[in-house]
Amino acid sequence: MACPVLEEPVDREAQILRRALRRERVIRARLDILSFPDDFLCERYRFSAQSISYLNNILRPYITHVTHRGHPLSSLHIICIALRFFANGSFLYNIGDAEHVSKATVCRAVRNVTVALNVSCTRLWCSPVTDPQDLSKRDATKLQGSQACIDGTHIPIIAPSVNEGDYVNRKSFHSINVQIICDAANIITNVEAKWPGSVHDSQIFRECTLSTKFGHGELRIL
């Protein structure tokens, strides 16, 4: 006949002591991002405090967490996480380490802000309501009679697995060569953001819609 196994007496005092010593959740105080100087913000997010605040006012209804549980991120912090990802194109965990959040939080922030930008694009993207040539005449003092300003910039990206060499620019890093055109009112009217970093600026202009309009006589060179 097997002998019954006697359970060891439970040390109630030890359990109570362990519960008392259990570390409580510590929530790190979040920084007031808009309190930093514009040079600091532009270097990390490519936007000034005024621009970030403007984006927050527009996107807040679409990205604010409707919950009373936990300690959710504010809409401002969600936007800054996404802007930091858009600014350098790094890995999600690198952005998370910089912003002191998890990789999953960065992923959600980027997705939510991207969807919100898509919904609000009509408020963020403006086009001329008048003939571009009339606009040039009206604001000739700003661009000295020109119809548009054009410039390019290289947006850093992670080295792609396909045609990797095509994306290495003249400064020896991987990028997308983006051409942006604005009118005399500083309104962006055209963006070409599909060319690898090795493509020359002149080729991008030759292939853009504005160059085609000049070729067809739809616009004239002043």
| Structural domain count of the chain | 2
Output 154 or 185, whichever has higher pLDDT: 154
220 domain residue, yes or no = no
- 25 found inside a domain: no
Q: How far apart are CA 43 and CA 207, in angstroms?
A: 31
Quote the CA–CA distance of 16 and 13 in Å, as a whole number: 5
CA end-to-end span of the chain: 109
Q: Are residues 91 and 173 in the same domain?
A: no
Predicted local confidence at residue 7, as pLDDT: 47
> Residue 35: how many CA atoms within 13 Å on its side-chain side?
3
Q: Is residue 5 part of a domain?
A: no
- 152 found inside a domain: yes
Amino acid making up residue 88: N
Q: Is the dihedral of CA 125, 129, 134, 138 positive or negative?
A: negative
74, 99, 123 - which closes a domain = 123
Same domain, 114 and 134: no
139-143, 179-183, 186-190: least confidently modelled range: 139-143
| Residues 67 and 101 occupy one common structural domain | yes
Least confident of 9-13, 169-173, 196-200: 9-13
145 and 66 in a common domain? no
Q: In which domain, by residue range, is 177 found?
A: 127-215
The average pLDDT across 185-189 equals 76
Q: Residue 17 domain-assigned?
A: no
Confirm whether 83 is domain-assigned: yes
Residue-wise pLDDT for 79-114, tens only, equals 999 999 988 877 888 888 888 888 999 999 999 998
Taking the model in full, what pTM does it have?
0.52
Q: What is the pLDDT of residue 166?
A: 92
20 lies in some domain: no
Residue 2 lies in a domain: no
